[in-house]
Amino acid sequence: MGEFARLSGVLFEPSTAFQDVSTHTRWWPPIAIITVLSLAFMITFSQRVGFERFVRQQMELNPRIQQMDSAQREQAFAVSMKITPVIVYVAAVFALPLITLIVSAVFLLIFRTFLGAAVQFGQVFAVCCYALIPYVLSSIMGFAVLMLKDPDQFDLQNPTPTNIGAFLDATTTPKWQYSLATSIDVFTLWVMTLMAIGLSVASGKVSRATALTCVVGSWAVWVLIKVGLAAAFS
């Protein structure tokens, strides 16, 4: 399949597209597209909203910082302003490939060790990369929200109203509840469904229902860890 056919096929004919992906394990096009969109989004964010406003918003949500006196808060703000842009841009480039590598390694372990599927890491990694295509649509939606919403009300950590957390007040909702709510996202559920289809196709023997159970189960474990950490450090 040509690249455009593969990218669009993941959305409209996932079984056919993932058969090609698992046979020809070219993984980089979706990662490259999402990375470019992420960088473009952050550049636009820095110009329209600005990191200063973002850092101020995050400091207001941190009860420990609010307990500091004004001099300490300004010192914390100055430090954050130095490191936040670096962290954000580095994450835009490297976070997605690194997370996808880790997720692929986990699924390789599950499918080969517990389900007996004869899949290779290259197949699993390529499937996971192409399953991320819905995030292209999420990025486009994020651009639209960024351009239309009041900069003072834009939330970089939750830019699109596609999860339950978008309808909660981050300042009054308990951190663990907010973390759980933001995890239940339309695009995340879509990506997990595509991963399950792709892994089922690549394995050749694991049913979609079993693959979906493994994918959703792994995600649920991660969400529980994240929610637990939010509760412990809030």
Please tell me the distance from the alpha carbon of residue 81 to that of residue 67, in angstroms, as a whole number. 20
- Amino acid 203: pLDDT: 95
DSSP string computed for the chain: --HHHHHHHHHH-HHHHHHHHHHS---HHHHHHHHHHHHHHHHHHHHHT-HHHHHHHHHHT-HHHHTS-HHHHHHHHHHHHHHHHHHHHHHHHHHHHHHHHHHHHHHHHIIIIIS-----HHHHHHHHHHTTTHHHHHHHHHHHHHHHS-GGG--TTS-SS-BGGGGS-TTTS-HHHHHHHHHSBHHHHHHHHHHHHHHHHHHSSS-HHHHHHHHHHHHHHHHHHHHHHHHHT-
pLDDT (average), residues 171-193: 94
Tens of pLDDT, residue by residue over 203-222, are 999 999 999 999 999 999 99
Tens of pLDDT, residue by residue over 122-159, are 999 999 999 999 999 999 999 999 999 988 888 888 88
Number of domains in the chain: 1
- Amino acid 57: pLDDT: 83
Range of the domain at 213: 3-232
- Amino acid 68: pLDDT: 85
Of the pLDDT bands very low, low, confident and very high (cuts 50, 70, 90), residue 65 is confident
pLDDT at 59 over 90: no
pLDDT at 63 over 80: no
Q: Please tell me the least confidently modeled range out of 15-24, 33-42, 145-154.
A: 145-154
- When the pLDDT of each residue in the chain is averaged and rounded to a whole number, the result is 93
pLDDT at 108 over 90: yes
